Amino acid sequence: MFLTGEDGIFVADLQDDLNFTSIQSTDRPNYMTYDSVEKKLYWGDRGTKRVYRADDDGGNREEVTSGNDNDPRGVAIAELSRILYIAYDGAKKITTVDIGQGSAFPGNEANFVTGLTDGPLSLEMDEEQG
C-alpha cells in the first residue's frame, strides 16, 4: 500500500501489520498512481508543478513532465496503451504523456481535453469499458 502525506510518500506491506516507512520522493507529493506493468509510482508535486515517477522503493526517480504554471492533480495510467493522463485543476484540462517502452523523459504533454467547466481533481482509467 502506498500513500502520500505531508512529509512524502510512504509504503506498507499489507501482510506486515501496516508499518509505513518513508520512501524517497519529492518535497510536496500528491495524487499518486501505481503502474503494475513497470512497477513504478507516478505522482504530481505541488511545489515543482511536475509529475515524477520512481521504482516502488523510491529509487530511480525521473521527471515525467517539465514544470509549468499548473498544479498537477489527478494522475492515471492506461496500462495497455501505456499512456499517462494528468488532470490540471487550474487549467481545467487533461493532458497525456506516452510512457511506453523507450519513451524519453521528461515527455511531451499533449492536450487530451481542454476547456472543462470545472477543473478535474481526480482520474481513473477503465480500458475495458472505455
**Mind listing the pLDDT tens digit for each residue in 39-86?**
999 999 988 999 999 998 899 999 999 988 888 989 999 999 999 999
Query: Nearest CA to 95 among 130, 56, 50?
Result: 50
3-state secondary structure of 113: strand
Q: What is the pLDDT of residue 53?
A: 95
DSSP code for 107: P
Measured from the Cβ of residue 25, the count of other Cβ atoms closer than 10 Å reads 20
For 58, the domain range is 34-113
Burial of 9 (0-12, 13-18, 19+ CB in 10 A): buried
Each residue's pLDDT tens digit, 10-48: 998 888 888 888 888 888 898 999 999 999 999 999 889
Residue bearing the bigger pLDDT, 113 or 27 = 113
* Cα 110 → chain centroid: 16
Q: Is residue 50 domain-resident?
A: yes
CATH number at residue 100: 2.40.10
Give domain status of residue 19, yes or no.
no
pLDDT of 130 reads 66
The predicted model scores a pTM of 0.90
Is 58 part of any domain? yes
| Residue 104: inside a domain | yes
CA Rg, the chain, in Å? 14
CA atoms of 72 and 51, how far apart (whole Å)? 7
Domain count, the chain: 1
Query: What value, to the nearest 5°, has the Cα angle with vertex 106 and ends 102 and 108?
Result: 85
Rounded mean pLDDT of 114-125? 91
